[in-house]
Amino acid sequence: MKNRLILSLLAGAVLTILPALAQPAPDPALPKFPTPPPATDAATSIIGPNYADAPEYVVNPNVPQGDVREFILYSDDSKIYPGIVRIEGDLANKRDAYGNRLPFPADQLSKPGRYERHVYVYIPKQYVPGTPAPFMVVQDGHSYINRMAPVLDNMIAAHRLPAMIIVAADSGGSDAQGSERGLEYDTLSDRYSNWVEQELLPAVSKNYGVTFTTDPEGRATMGGSSGAICAWTMAWYHPERYHKVLSYSGTFVNQASPQDANTPRGGWEYHETLVPKTAKKPIRIWMEVGERDLHFDDPEKTWHNWPLANNRMAAALKKKGYDYRYVFAMDAHHVDPRVVKQTLPAALEWLWRDYPKS
Amino acid sequence: MRKLAVFFSAAFLATLPALAQALATGASPPKFSAPPPPVTAENSIIGPAYADAPEATADPAAPQGDVREFILYSEDSKIYPGIVRAQEMQRDAHGNYSIPAGTSLSKPGRYERHVYVYIPRQVVPGTPAPFMVVQDGHSYVKRMANIMDNMIAAKRLPPMILVFADSGGSDAQGSERGLEYDTLSDRYANWVEQELLPAVSQRYGVTFTSDPEGRATMGGSSGGVAAFTMAWYHPERYHKVLSYSGTFVNQAWPPDPQTPRGGWEYHATLIPKAAKKPIRIWMEVGEKDNRYDNPEESWHNWPLANNRMAAVFKNKGYDYRYVFALRAGHVDNRAVMQTLPAALEWLWRDYPR
């Protein structure tokens, strides 16, 4: 591992929030292409620019309060993700004209390095031990667990959501090309989904005596940014495992590293080739992007414009007849907390609308 | 995680006791600001202004120690199985707490305790290392890692392991943190010996020295009195104590008839009446520390309590240093970041490098 795990985690969090600032400033003279909002329709809405927190976030002492537990998974104990760190240097510092990192062969950009991965688990009071529970896996767990616990408490008590377990797992650290987080979240493969199945969920079951449903209708995954494309990737490569995806500012852009010849533009390939050319899969997705999201005015050929990528994603999903909702948030930035706090309860309700409530 | 929210709100209240008190009583009791102590060979008055010590700046040329983290769960502890506060406390005008007779302030409740461990590059596996136990670990680990790297590389400190353990949560009377830190007994020292240090050894393959000269403990606020308590009840284990804004006040719970005013008894009775123990202590308090203008009879005035500690150390001939930080609040970050490197150096000045 990096010898300063906590510092590197913090640095990773800052990078996650402010990736544009962490990179060399692109030439301001480059032409700009602000992404226009999509056309609204039954599945697509435009919200903002004024936002208000949803009332479901307010703690209600009169409803049962679920337990929130925490444990740590160590890279030394993982077969699937033994741990990498980026080799900082000339290669890691390279950027395209618009300030985007570039993919490189794994052995040139990364080296083995350990991590300590925090996992937070929300278990509703209504959970009956021994019964297979519906659940949601949440990427970058520490960013969401505190915000989501009261929402779950309130909505489960009101029978608006099933009594589900939330497994909010952090990544293995840092961000983007060459990092452990990038490897886990931005890679187009079933590796992360397999890690969840073979390492994460068994650890939660063992620690807390809970069991998880195998019904894909009762299995959801969500995240923001790379955590969101990760959610989609989990369902895409294993639709028999997950039928529900929730995405904020999904990184459906060219951020996978190392480059894969089958998907040379990484996540951009989902809307460009994979979704259009593949038979419709039984995946339901709620997704959001901000008008001012990352690289919102960069040209298409960078394959790195978040609003454009999400517009394309929605268009591809519509064309194939997917069950989706798309929210374009005016004035909003990357995984904008104002938007998350306004939209998440309704998004969860839409996603789980036909699942049996307790 | 919810425990964290509780902890932060408790920390907030701890920094604003006067406000909490005014809210509780609606009255404004008379003020008795504790004056600065006399300046002597041992006592100094510092600030304002304050400046961070240069040792806190990362130096890429110094070997960077490893910082690791793990969690200890209440279910696995024999000594601290876990409590949470069961009812709101009633406060007197000076913030002393009471509860209705026949009721209990605490009930069983679980905790998840984070522990951070700093292991310098220079530690040789298999050799017993000097070390320091740091209470409320999460508050100090980030601030101290650079200091340790730089001062160990410069041979101003021995290559020592730092064990930064959080408390079991919340704060003050009736809480797990209060039980662990504010209690005058050897329970916390025994927990460190029997549960904390073995867990660190098992995980990271390090061994700890049994020489009390190589064993130090530090903390701020209740973590400061906890550090002194560890050494007081087991001076054969710890000879070095570092305290910021030590809670040498009446905050122990449940009440103990042997020490009815909790930590206040250290300077009022325990140290004056006991033979001098082989404990070296560096301590600090802020001029505007908790309840700095409460009367003595509150047993709750931090600057006054620390002034008294310094005075009894002087009387008994202890090896101590006392810093009174003008304009500084409770465990004031400005004072910590200015003084900590020199305090560590003074504490470890004659230990082999």
Question: CB–CB of B71 and A72 under 8 A?
Answer: yes
B71 touches chain A (CB under 8 A): yes
Of B1, B5, B69, the CB nearest to A72: B69
B112 touches chain A (CB under 8 A): yes
Whether the Cβ atoms of residue A185 and residue A257 lie closer than 8 Å to each other: no
pLDDT in tens, B248-288: 999 998 889 999 999 999 999 999 999 999 999 999 999 99
In eight-state DSSP terms, residue B186 is S
| Band of residue B172 on the pLDDT scale cut at 50, 70, 90 | confident
DSSP string across B255-315: -BTTBTTTTHHIIIIIHHHSPPPS-EEEEEEETT-TTTTS-GGGS--HHHHHHHHHHHHHH
With beta carbons under 8 A apart, name residues in chain A contacting B1: 68, 70, 120, 145-146, 149
Question: CB–CB of B69 and A116 under 8 A?
Answer: yes
Per 3-state DSSP, what percentage of chain B is helix, strand, and coil (rounded to 5)?
35, 20, 45
Res B25: pLDDT: 52
Query: d(Cα B327, Cα B285) in Å, to the nearest integer?
Result: 10
Residues in chain B: 353
> B27-39: buried (b, 16+ CB within 10 Å) or exposed (e) per residue?
eebeebebebbee
A116 touches chain B (CB under 8 A): yes
Query: d(Cα B109, Cα A198) in Å, to the nearest integer?
Result: 32
Strand partners, B298: none
With beta carbons under 8 A apart, name residues in chain A contacting B64: 3-4
Chain B CA closest to residue A207: B73
Question: CB–CB of A70 and B142 under 8 A?
Answer: no
For an interface test with A, which of B57, B67, B123 has the most A Cβ atoms less than 10 Å from its Cβ? Answer: B67
Please give the C-alpha separations between residue B339 and each of B53, B283, B344, B346, in angstroms, as whole numbers: 7, 10, 9, 11
Query: d(Cα A187, Cα B7) in Å, to the nearest integer?
Result: 38
A138 touches chain B (CB under 8 A): no
Strand partners, B250: none
Res B90: pLDDT: 79
Of B1, B66, B145, the CB nearest to A68: B1
Query: d(Cα B35, Cα B307) in Å, to the nearest integer?
Result: 9
In eight-state DSSP terms, residue A242 is -
Question: Phi and psi dihedrals of B241, rounded to 5?
Answer: -135, 140
Chain B CA closest to residue A66: B2
Question: CB–CB of A6 and B116 under 8 A?
Answer: yes
Question: CB–CB of B69 and A7 under 8 A?
Answer: no
Question: CB–CB of B68 and A120 under 8 A?
Answer: no
- Each residue's pLDDT tens digit in chain A (358 positions)? 334 544 444 444 444 444 444 455 777 788 888 899 999 999 999 999 999 999 999 999 999 999 999 999 999 999 999 999 999 988 888 888 888 888 888 889 999 999 999 999 999 999 999 999 999 999 999 999 999 999 999 999 999 999 999 999 999 999 998 999 999 999 999 999 999 999 999 999 999 999 999 999 999 999 999 999 999 999 999 999 999 999 999 999 999 999 999 999 999 999 999 999 999 999 999 999 999 999 999 999 999 999 999 999 999 999 999 999 999 999 999 999 999 999 999 999 999 999 999 7
A120 touches chain B (CB under 8 A): yes
Question: CB–CB of B1 and A146 under 8 A?
Answer: yes
In eight-state DSSP terms, residue B254 is S
With beta carbons under 8 A apart, name residues in chain A contacting B150: none
Query: d(Cα A268, Cα B42) in Å, to the nearest integer?
Result: 67
A4 touches chain B (CB under 8 A): yes
Residues in chain A: 358
Is pLDDT above 90 for B292?
yes
Query: d(Cα B283, Cα B304) in Å, to the nearest integer?
Result: 13
Question: CB–CB of A4 and B67 under 8 A?
Answer: yes
pTM attached to this predicted model: 0.85
Question: CB–CB of A4 and B68 under 8 A?
Answer: no
Closest approach of A234 to chain B, Cα-based (Å): 27
Question: CB–CB of A116 and B68 under 8 A?
Answer: yes
Query: d(Cα A58, Cα B158) in Å, to the nearest integer?
Result: 50
With beta carbons under 8 A apart, name residues in chain A contacting B71: 70-72
Whether the Cβ atoms of residue B241 and residue B248 lie closer than 8 Å to each other: no
pLDDT in tens, B59-118: 999 999 999 999 999 999 999 999 998 887 777 777 677 777 778 889 999 999 999 999
A144 touches chain B (CB under 8 A): no
A61 touches chain B (CB under 8 A): no
Strand partners, B182: none
A7 touches chain B (CB under 8 A): yes
A70 touches chain B (CB under 8 A): yes
Res B13: pLDDT: 39
Res B253: pLDDT: 87
